[in-house]
Amino acid sequence: MQAVADRGVSPEEIARFDALAGKWWDPDGPMKPLHRMNPARVGWIDSRIPPASRVLDVGCGAGLLAEALARRGHDVLGIDAAGEAIAAARAHAEGRGLKLAYREGVAGDLLAEGQRFPVVTALEVIEHVPDPAAFLHTLAGLLEPGGTLFLSTLNRTKRSFLVAKFGAEYVMRWLPVGTHDWRKFVTPAELGALARDAGLGVADITGLEFDPLGWRWRTGRDLSTNYLLQARAV
């Protein structure tokens, strides 16, 4: 596992998400928040990229985003350092006839091979990596000229601590305790600066808001907890 740490991924984070692999696709399991959030974030991304785009999904886990984008006609490669999660992703996609492939590894592996993509996604990943600046530079390096990067993360606010950390992990039990470290949450200003330092231009940003009446997530102006950011190679 030390080799993984040297490539910019925390062994503890890998072990945590590998342990969830068998329950990843259970809509009422530990990934319930992502299942609820997925339609809103997939719709936002899909509306901003050309049809049948080639997409790299970094930190894909067991494939919630990757498979949803493939169902919308995109050609998707998902990559994750958590081998058990990748195995779960492959098993779930088997026989569905989608343009979808998975690879165990890290984004730096693809960068070293000289691979480039018109669209790169990394949702709910940056708050788990040891060096967010280096991670953004790697993602920027994986974009084709004019390519588009989509990121999502959690804002570091009092509300996000109460809702996404204390509420989700300790009160509602939506997530296993220890899933998030609030100190690693990234503000929109910080993420925008990291993107610009990596040579990217911020194109759009939206909040992800929970609607308790409809028991679903929707995009909107509230960036205080979860949000999505779109950046372009310039």
DSSP calls for 155-200: --SHHHIIIIIIIIIIIS--S-TTS--GGG---HHHHHHHHHHTTE
Amino acid 5: pLDDT: 35
CA–CA separation, 52 vs 80, rounded Å?
22
User: Do residues 32 and 174 make contact, with C-beta atoms less than 8 angstroms apart?
Assistant: yes
For residue 12, give both structure tokens: 């503890």
Amino acid 165: pLDDT: 53
Amino acid 220: pLDDT: 95
* 18 annotated as ligand-binding: no
Task: Provide the whole-model pTM.
Answer: 0.90
- Angle at the Cα of 130 (from 125 to 136), degrees rounded to 5? 60
Q: List, in order of start, the domains of the chain with CATH numbers.
A: 2-233 (3.40.50.150)
How far, in whole angstroms, is CA 120 from its chain's centroid?
10
- Burial class from Cβ neighbours inside 10 Å (0-12, 13-18, 19+) for residue 69 reads buried
- Angle at the Cα of 31 (from 38 to 110), degrees rounded to 5? 70
* 80 annotated as ligand-binding: yes
Amino acid 175: pLDDT: 60
CA–CA separation, 17 vs 23, rounded Å?
10
Amino acid 174: pLDDT: 56
* 96 annotated as ligand-binding: no
- Count CA within 13 A, CB hemisphere, residue 9: 24
DSSP code for 28: T
Run means of pLDDT, 10 residues per run, the chain, 234 residues: 47 87 92 90 98 98 98 98 97 98 97 98 94 97 98 90 57 56 88 98 95 86 95 94
User: Do residues 102 and 63 make contact, with C-beta atoms less than 8 angstroms apart?
Assistant: yes
* 220 annotated as ligand-binding: no
CA–CA separation, 69 vs 195, rounded Å?
23
- CA-atom Rg of the chain in angstroms: 16
CA–CA separation, 114 vs 160, rounded Å?
38
